[in-house]
Chain A
Amino acid sequence: MSDTATKATPPEAPDPTTEAGARPEFSLGAALRGLAEGELGSVRVILGIALVWIIFQSQNSNFLTATNITNLLLQVVAVGLVSVGVVLVLLLGEIDLSIGSVSGLCAAIMAVLNVQHGWSPVPAVIAAIVAGAAIGLFQGFFVNFFQIPSFVVTLAGLIGWQGFQLQVLGDTGTVNLTSGFIVDLTSKFFSTGVGWVIAIAAVALYAATGLWQRRKRASAGLKPEDPLRFGVRTVLVGIAILVTVYVLNQDRGLPYAVLILIAFVAVFAFITTRTRFGRHIYAVGGNAEASRRAGINVTRIRATVFILSSTMAAIGGVMAASRLLAVNQSSGGSDFLLLAIAGPVVAGTSLFGGRGTVWSALLGAILIGSISNGMDLLALSSAVKFMITGGVLLAAVTIDSATRLRRQSIRRV
């Protein structure tokens, strides 16, 4: 066991040409491998979106028009916002099944306060969001202190909050919204010029933070990301932003609602990847016991994430109500919950915890929204739509599990 040959060249010794701390070089082979192992989950979902778009465009030439793309993005705003909270919960390895009911309940609270009690719109919206946070605190308490699986607690919430929603809405069951502010959330657009300014600012911000990080790594004597890879990524993201705004400007312009969605996604993406709190979310999702022993307050992280999940559900509910111009008994019901969870999973966030990004909320919502929008354009029957949606969900979860199995098999090498 102590033969010198082994000592001289241990089998795991790195390639001498590889510098310690070097990032893997960018190559097609590595990229394909990364794709299979779920490293480039966002690239995978973008390819999926492209495929879906090509299929629907070939069936109906109205699919890729500026008007339809604008409608598509407006349709995915509510579910995308809810999915942001879902990603946080999934990263912890938990689940929140109450988000649909919570979004409906909070929208109902807003509508009733605004329309029936004469509150002005802004306080009504704030009340709805605070109610969402309180619900998250309540559910997180049961998950934390009674150690009940989140699946069960939020399943109770799914039914209970829906009942509360019916109670709040009262006999009529429907409250129509007329308030300017609430309606404006999803019906106002930035002018062409403002849209371009926002787009250019976003591209500049993205490129600047990327360059700043490269400089910081270089000045610390660390090897920066491969320049080709960095360049390709920055240019592609820049083009995506500019093309999106160009297309939207061909129709009515950049919608307020889309900017709200992207802002929430960007802020939470930043929090999860760049702050101590975000790191702890991933740590708890990867190994809760190890995190606890390392001094991370697992209870507090879990409670905070459940509050954020319900809060995002409330915000999504407000946006859904704004788009529908009403809150009714089926708000937040039907497949809203499943689509909000399916989006991030389709886009590479694992159901098993610890893996995924907040961007998957946006990309997943666009993918699922595209399928739904395309099927509406083709005037498919509900029967076909449900079956196809179910098939897509199954495929997404299968890919997630296959990725996980592959990762486990690699570790046994």
Chain B
Amino acid sequence: MTDATATQPAAGPKTPLLELKGVSKSFGAVRALTDVDFEVGTGEVVALVGDNGAGKSTLIKAISGIQPGDRYAAQFEGTDVNLNTPHDAAGLGIATVYQDLALADNLDVVENLFLGHEMSGPGGPLSLLDETSMEHRALDLMSQLAVTTIANVRTEVGSLSGGQRQSVAIARSLLGEPKVVMLDEPTAALGVAQTRQVLDLVKRLKDRGLGVVVISHNLADIFEVADRIIVLRLGQRVATFDRATSTPDQVVAAITGASSNGQKGDQR
């Protein structure tokens, strides 16, 4: 039903990796999400777009289990799963990179990558850190992701540029070998060259066979990396586009509700 209004029929992924049906979420009297379906496949980049307050972040938080949906049905790799806590999502291999990146500026790249999951010997809190293994792994990861802009992984993260910081945050989300990575506005507030680095990185995640979910306001970026574009408006999924067969104007129309049809007439 939610796809009924798509101006371009867009087939979902053949084998959805993660599929949610009928996600609803209310905050008191405010209905943030109403019966939203969502799916992302292996090696697919899905862009989640919509105006401010359309429910993009709420949907991401529902998937990552930080603010679970009031009602929803979820399937991961074809089996029914719960997404009620961040632990549920992490256990399935769903990683999220939030807009604030959650980096500690006083720590270096290696220390941030392994924050909270340090490699160490046995023995609880006083166990010895295995710095060489961590640094080795960090260099490996950076070269796999072709992050060449960080010359020294022992550089303090506070001294890195926005694009480098985003790269570190994304790389960290990959350490747990996730299957789905969700990026909340990864290119917001980045310059041209830095945006390029991050978009290249998103493409590499896709090449590694990950399902990637990107929230963004920048249609140029979306049309560069996304395979499918899901439009949310006022807490509902109003349209789905196939990147190859749609134009930015169509997406803008769906975001603003300008292309009027049966379901979109009821705005405000």
Contact = CB atoms under 8 A, between A and B. Distances in A.
Contact of B104 (A2, A271, A275, A287): A287
A275 B193 contact: no
A285 interface: yes
Contacts, number: 132
Given A286-B104, A295-B117, A279 B139 contact: no
Nearest to A300: B125
A24 B103 contact: no
A276 B102 contact: no
Interface stretch (B14-22, B68-76, B156-164, B240-248): B156-164
Contacts of A276: 118, 120, 124-127, 129
Interface residues of A, number: 47
Contacts of B139: 20-21, 222
Contact of B106 (A1, A295, A354): A354
A6 B111 contact: no
Interface of B: 102-107, 111, 115-118, 120, 124-129, 132-133, 135-136, 139, 142-143, 148-154, 158-161, 163-164, 192-197, 220, 224
A279 to B, nearest CB: 6
B150 to A, nearest CB: 8
B158 A283 contact: no
Contact of A283 (B107, B124, B149, B161): B107
A387 interface: no
Contacts of A7: 196
B220 A1 contact: yes
Contacts of A335: none
Given A21-B135, A276-B126, 19 more contacts: A2-B196, A2-B224, A6-B196, A10-B149, A10-B196, A12-B197, A20-B151, A20-B153, A24-B152, A217-B132, A220-B133, A220-B136, A274-B128, A282-B106, A282-B111, A291-B116, A295-B117, A407-B158, A407-B159
A23 B152 contact: yes
A220 B116 contact: no
Interface of A: 1-2, 6-7, 10-15, 18, 20-24, 216-217, 220-222, 271, 274-277, 279-280, 282-283, 285-287, 289-291, 293-296, 353-355, 407, 410-411, 413
A167 to B, nearest CB: 36
25 contacts: A1-B195, A20-B142, A21-B135, A21-B152, A21-B153, A24-B152, A217-B132, A220-B133, A220-B136, A222-B136, A276-B120, A276-B127, A277-B125, A279-B111, A279-B118, A279-B129, A282-B111, A287-B102, A287-B103, A287-B105, A291-B115, A291-B116, A294-B117, A411-B158, A411-B160
A285 B142 CA distance: 26
Contact of B115 (A21, A217, A283, A413): A283
Scoring A1, A6, A216, A354 by chain B CB atoms within 10 A of each residue's CB, the highest score goes to A1
Scoring B116, B135, B164 by chain A CB atoms within 10 A of each residue's CB, the highest score goes to B116
B140 to A, nearest CB: 11
B159 A294 contact: no
A286 B247 CA distance: 44
Given A279-B118, A290-B103, A411-B158, A6 B143 contact: no
A401 to B, nearest CB: 16
B212 to A, nearest CB: 19
A23 B135 CA distance: 12
Contacts of A216: 132
A286 B106 contact: yes
B118 A222 contact: no
Contacts of A271: 126
A354 B105 CA distance: 9
A296 B125 CA distance: 11
B126 A277 contact: yes
A407 B155 CA distance: 13
Scoring B115, B120, B158 by chain A CB atoms within 10 A of each residue's CB, the highest score goes to B115
Contacts of A15: 151
B129 A274 contact: yes
A387 B193 CA distance: 53
A283 B106 CA distance: 8
Contacts of B220: 1
Scoring B135, B143, B149, B151 by chain A CB atoms within 10 A of each residue's CB, the highest score goes to B151
A283 B194 CA distance: 26
A283 B196 contact: no
A36 B159 CA distance: 15
Contacts of A222: 132, 135-136, 139
B48 to A, nearest CB: 21
A293 B159 CA distance: 22
Nearest to B143: A20
A14 B149 contact: yes
Scoring B104, B132, B159, B160 by chain A CB atoms within 10 A of each residue's CB, the highest score goes to B104
Given A220-B132, A411-B159, A22 B111 contact: no
B193 A291 contact: no
Nearest to A354: B106
B151 A14 contact: yes
A13 B197 CA distance: 11
The 4 A-B residue pairs whose C-beta atoms are closest, nearest first, are A294-B116, A286-B104, A14-B151, A354-B106
B136 A290 contact: no
Contacts of A24: 152
A296 B197 CA distance: 30
Contacts of A289: 102
B126 A295 contact: no
A24 B129 CA distance: 23
A296 B115 contact: yes
B116 A275 contact: no
